[in-house]
Every structure is written in structure tokens, then in C-alpha cells.
A and B are shown apart, each in its own frame.
Chain A
Amino acid sequence: GENVEQHPSTLSVQEGDSAVIKCTYSDSASNYFPWYKQELGKGPQLIIDIRSNVGEKKDQRIAVTLNKTAKHFSLHITETQPEDSAVYFCAAVTGNQFYFGTGTSLTVIP
């Protein structure tokens, strides 16, 4: 089955700097890659996603890139703000199965 690895597990950045979280996957049949943000004590919320026919997608300060050949995708957050502090999960979707990474705890230091 699919194996999704996510790095780093923790990340601290200064407010205003950029943050990058990377995920790799193993199954070339995976064709949908969502990213979720989870605040403490809450359920994850979809923040951005990308499908396998697209290499990059941007939504304001958030962007996702996909390299199908290397089987990795990354979340980029620019101009970070304290409210960006949360746990971020990537996922790779094969068929109807979602495979999640183990999460990255992002802390933005004011």
C-alpha cells in the first residue's frame, strides 16, 4: 500500500519568514494530494490541495508543489503569522483511500 512520509515533525520560524513542509509518497497511482491544518483540540481543515495533472497551486500565502517523477509534494507558507501555528498534515489519495503523513507542528514566533 501507499506510504507517506512527512518532514519535519516540528518546525519553528520567525514571524514573516517562510515555512516549507515536505511529503514523499510511494504509490505512483496516487493522484490527489490535500493538505490539512489542525489547531489544538479541533478537527483538521482542508487548506489547499493539488491533483496529479498540476505541478503547482497557489492560494494567497499558501502554495503547494508536486513533483510526480520524484514522488514528493511540498507545502509553502510565506509571510508567516502567529495564527499559522498549528499541526499540518499531508495526504496522498489512491483510489478512494487517503494516506496521511504523521504531521508537522509549526510554531510561528512573534
Chain B
Amino acid sequence: DGGITQSPKYLFRKEGQNVTLSCEQNLNHDAMYWYRQDPGQGLRLIYYSQIVNDFQKGDIAEGYSVSREKKESFPLTVTSAQKNPTAFYLCASNRGWTDGYTFGSGTRLTVV
């Protein structure tokens, strides 16, 4: 079955470390997205990519970086510059423009 796979499901990071969250899709979707979810704040867009080797900043890109070397993969790096990285991170994809998202199951990142 097609879908989006995020890994790991839980991730613990020490302060000052960079960590990379994986997102892979086999839906042949062109567009991929990273969202951060905090209680009571809904979903906030971090980065998105509509085509391989191209990506744009979302509303809260500071402290994050991404790459899109393959259509299937859109990894997110949470850098030490991100002041409050503890959150639930969701990856999504769609065929583009006004098609509904397919979401992954999320990665819960905790800074210890």
C-alpha cells in the first residue's frame, strides 16, 4: 500500500545536537511538507517542496533545514539553533496545489 513513512516515532536529543527526521513516500507525490504541532496551536508549516531540488521556507523555518534530493524523500534537520524543538513533527505530501494531504504518523522529538 502507498503511504508516508516517518521515522523514528520517538526521538530524544540533547541540547546542542542536530537531529534528522526521516520522511519517505511511495505515492509518487510531487509536493512534500513538514509541519510542527504543539498543543493548542494547530499545525504550523516549517518547510515545503514542490519539486526535487527545490524547497521553500514556511512560517517557522528558523532553526530547521531540509533537502529534497529524491522525489520520495524529504528529511528535516532540527538544528541546535532551534530554541524550543520539543514538539510533534508531521510530514505530509500531495500531488500538488489543491489536493488533500496524506500525512505520516509523526515523530515526537523531546530535548533532554
Chain A residues within 8 Å of B, Cβ to Cβ: 6, 9, 31-32, 34, 36, 41-46, 49, 51, 89, 93, 95-98, 100-103
Contact = CB atoms under 8 A, between A and B. Distances in A.
B40 A98 contact: no
Which of B4, B33, B90 has the most chain A CB within a 10 Å cutoff?
B90
9 A-B pairs with the lowest CB-CB distances in the bound complex, closest first: A43-B103, A102-B42, A32-B98, A100-B43, A46-B100, A100-B42, A43-B105, A34-B100, A96-B97
Contacts of B45: 97-98
A103 B50 contact: no
B98 A42 contact: no
A101 B42 contact: yes
B101 A102 contact: no
A93 B98 contact: yes
A95 B97 contact: yes
B101 A46 contact: yes
B104 A89 contact: no
Q: Interface extent on B, as a size class?
A: 20 to 34
A42 B88 CA distance: 10
Interface of B: 4, 6, 31, 33, 40-43, 45, 50, 90, 92, 96-98, 100-106, 108
A102 B42 CA distance: 4
Contacts, number: 51
24 contacts: A9-B40, A31-B98, A34-B101, A41-B106, A42-B105, A42-B106, A43-B90, A43-B106, A44-B90, A44-B101, A44-B103, A46-B100, A51-B98, A96-B96, A96-B97, A96-B98, A97-B45, A98-B45, A100-B42, A100-B43, A102-B41, A102-B42, A103-B40, A103-B42
A45 B98 contact: no
A102 B105 CA distance: 19
